[in-house]
Amino acid sequence: MAPRLTLHLHPDATAERHTSWALLTFKVIGLLAVGVGLYLLFHFVLEPYINSAEAFVESLGLWGPLLFIGLFLVLTSLFVPESILAIAAGAIFGLWWGLLWVFVAGTITATFIFLIGRTMLRSRAEKLLARHPKINAIDTAASNAGFRLLLLLRLSPLNYSLLCYLIAVSRARLKPYLLSCIGMAPGNFSTVYVGFAAKHSADLARKLKEHGGHLPAGDSMVHEVTLYLGLAAAIIASLVVTRIAMKAIREATQQTASTS
């Protein structure tokens, strides 16, 4: 007679597995929601104007990127979401040129906001910080921690414009503030990629219709799959980096609060 096997399940271990599956499910749903939201943003807000905007920018030649940088500076300084402009850049300039111009525009705008914050907004910001302890904790940490925390803040999902103004009116120094702009790159890459992929999808749908449902010459299914897998990888990587950054920020702000 074969020996009888008995399986013992610890209730805490079972609950932990259920919690892990629930958390994983929630993260997957959240990732899908982010992707769908960004696509809808492109489809309903940007797509009707992309072709005409692309043609206009191409007609400007070298002035096209300068116009984009100027618009980025003005609009994000007025709290227009940076992601909208990054998606538009991916659709108009393509992936790599779009990423370059968004990063350059973001760095120039961050410098501009820093100068405005130090010269015109400091007194008003102090009153705002006094009324919001959580924001004040970030201000204190940013002032004391230097480049490391500033970089983590750039990697976090905090609103680009709000973050620039918040750091600008803190006691953070200009050099680490500017160096921390490299932390914008992962988020910029994923949002520019969304615009690039969405524009590609719109163009592909039009070409499929013109070619009777067949891929146009020079294209392949492997290329299409690779493009969208790259988009998924970029978004996932951005979310992972964001999660790590937010955890580190919480630890840094708690440490600052405990020592102050």
| Res 233: pLDDT | 80
Give tens-digit pLDDT for 57-72: 888 888 999 999 999 9
Highest mean pLDDT among 116-130, 178-192, 221-235: 178-192
Give tens-digit pLDDT for 202-212: 777 777 776 66
CB atoms within 10 A of CB 183: 19
| Residue 189 pLDDT grade (very low, low, confident, very high; cuts 50, 70, 90) | very high
| Res 93: pLDDT | 93
| Residue 107 pLDDT grade (very low, low, confident, very high; cuts 50, 70, 90) | very high
Whether the pLDDT of residue 218 is over 90: the answer is no
Averaged pLDDT, 208-229: 70
| Res 106: pLDDT | 96
Full-prediction pTM beyond 0.75?
no
Q: Is 181 in contact with 154 (CB distance < 8 Å)?
A: yes
